[in-house]
Structure 1
Amino acid sequence: MNNFRDAVDYCGLKDLNFEGYEFTYDNGQVGSDNRQSRIDRAMVNDGWAEMFPAAKLVHMDREWSDHAPLVVWLDGRRIEEGSRQKRFRFEEIWIGEDGCEDTIRGAWQLDCGDVIDTISRCA
């Protein structure tokens, strides 16, 4: 642990501010056998913090694990509870389609405005 602390100090790292439940780990026991702690963290240096001044770490709700999932919001905003951000999904079968690779390569070269226009034309 001392080596870890020395590395953190040497690199000038500090904890990213967080919101959510204080503890990120829960051993799942009840009563006096329950142990909780904040062992999962996001650490940044001053240069990173200057690039993303509104960034914050969100401790999400634990559901199936003894550790809470962590999400870093670079713009400081968080999806409201109960709403869902649409996830990107990719079916492996698409790889076999003619032109798939060219479509992906072309999409990576577009800026956001071009992507929105392209999606509008395809819809």
Structure 2
Amino acid sequence: MAIEDFNIVATSLEMKGGHHPNKRARNEFVDFINKNSLRDTTTLGLRYSWCNRRIGNKRILAKLDRALVNNSWLLENQNWRCKILPRKFSDHSLVIGWCNKNLRPSNVPFRFRNIWLASSWTW
């Protein structure tokens, strides 16, 4: 797994405003991802992880920060999620990842508690 600022977008859809990214650099990045069988897991949160902090026509947004993982990582961490958080102090957003593991065994039966009936419900 690699979570970092790659400083390049993979597609033109990952950028809003400014000039189109260098096609050669973009192709090299996509080749790197494909040759190493990596997958971008930053699918939650913000769409863009970087902003030049300008307004109007000069504003540029781009997805430069991401979490790349391989299939082995995903097999070991099946509930892996990754999110781009809102920017606060930097022009880059934080990227966080976590794994939701259900520690409860799947064969635990449901148990009804009589105390639930004794509650003071107001309908």
Q: How would you bin the TM-score normalised by the shorter chain? A: 0.5 to 0.7
List gaps (5 residues or longer) in structure 2.
Answer: 1-24, 102-123
C-alpha distance in structure 1 between counterparts of 2:70 and 2:88, whole Å:
31
1:101 aligns with none
Does 1:44 find its partner at 2:72? no
Match for residue 99 of structure 1? none
Q: Quick one: which of 49, 59, 63 aligns to 1:24? A: 49
Which of 54, 74, 89 is equivalent to 1:64?
Answer: 89
Q: Distance in 2 between matches of 1:17 and 1:8?
A: 14
In the alignment, which residue of structure 1 is the partner of 2:112? Answer: none
| Higher helix proportion (structure 1 or 2) | 1
**Which position in structure 1 is the counterpart of 2:100?**
75
| Letter of the 2:61 counterpart | Q
Higher relative contact order (CA 8 A, sep 6+): 2
Deviations 1:28-62 (A, max 9, x none): 00111110011111111111111111111111121
Q: TM-score of the superposition, structure 1-length normalised?
A: 0.56
Q: CA RMSD in A?
A: 1.5
> Deviations for 1:2-35, whole angstroms, at most 9, x for unmatched residues?
3333222111001114211111011100111110
In 1: Cα distance, 2:42 partner to 2:67 partner: 9
1:6 and 1:61 map into 2 onto residues whose CA distance is 29
Normalised to the residue count of structure 2, the TM-score between the two structures is 0.56
Give the count of matched residue pairs.
76
Alpha-carbon separation, structure 2, partners of 1:6 and 1:21: 25
In structure 1, the gaps of 5 or more residues are 77-123
The amino acid that maps onto 1:7 is F
Give the structure with the higher percent strand. 2
Aligned AA for 2:89? Answer: W
Three-state SS of the structure 2 residue aligned to 1:41 is strand
